[in-house]
Structure 1
């Protein structure tokens, strides 16, 4: 769990350096239009530098999700699909343990399954200036 906290702190620090989080317009991710997540003037949709830096320094995986309707969509991630491609455009499992916590504006730290594989994870809500949940910070390590 210590590794999770270190990785989460790194992800939050790197995004905070860019500026405050906000939603502005839409941008395509994996062929579908979703809300565009920004930190300052940097659009996170399809921008992998931050998540890749966190993983280079701490190992594991990292993702930024944006709230899009009732879903949370991966817009920047290094979680891989079975074919080895980045799992952008995939959504947070609405039936998993994380979804209800984030909906309430709370963090989730613990085990969960991502695209069929077991991970030890941390999910923290991304909130805009008004305190509304607009996305999720995620870090995790494959178990086993």
Structure 2
């Protein structure tokens, strides 16, 4: 009797644990954000190692040139648009310019429908706190006044210095 009661309690506990809800906070980034981030990183990696070279103008702003191999990504939307076409959502590459991270390739749109190139990663936002420590950030943030579920990861050059940021995100409904 004692053994069958113990088996019943064990079964109830096991089933109860199996059906408990899991929150996204403890489960890590949503699968679509994680998959889109991996796709963005793999597409840029195929071009070569990241580096910054020289100066370039993006939306009237002088910023360093962000390169992967010999391909300059400033004002080059091929990779971010391919990620959007394959995964939906939005994708951006930021370059580090002084203390700011500037969008140099993006399909995030401003209210007028134009690409938000030349705009900066929110200096008071949640993502910059993690990026400043060389860490990734996955979570909900406001981008240009709209709520997104996002992922941000540092872009590191061959000397392991953070030279930019990978971003992917999905507009929250």
* TM-score interval, normalised by the smaller of the two chains: over 0.9
- How far 1:112 moved relative to its partner? 0.3
Which residue matches 2:144?
115
Stretches of 4+ moved more than 2 A in 1?
none
Look up the SS of the partner of 1:53 in the other structure: helix
How large is the Cα RMSD of the aligned pairs? 0.4
Look up the SS of the partner of 2:114 in the other structure: coil
Matched, 1:5 2:34: yes
Gaps of 5+ in 1: none
Structure with more helix by fraction = 2
TM-score (norm 2): 0.83
Q: Which protein shows a greater Rg?
A: 2
The count of residues paired between Structure 1 and Structure 2 equals 144
- How far 1:100 moved relative to its partner? 1.3
Structure with more strand by fraction = 1
Distance in 2, matches of 1:8 and 1:100, equals 19
Matches within 5 A, 1:32-71: 32-71=61-100
Distance in 2, matches of 1:10 and 1:106, equals 19
Structure showing greater relative contact order (alpha-carbon pairs closer than 8 Å, 6 or more residues apart): 1
Matches within 5 A, 1:119-134: 119-134=148-163
Matches within 5 A, 1:79-118: 79-118=108-147
Distance in 2, matches of 1:24 and 1:67, equals 12
Distance in 1, matches of 2:145 and 2:155, equals 25
Distance in 2, matches of 1:103 and 1:95, equals 11
Instruction: Deviation per CA, 1:56-81: give whole Å up to 9, x if none.
Output: 00000000000000000000000000
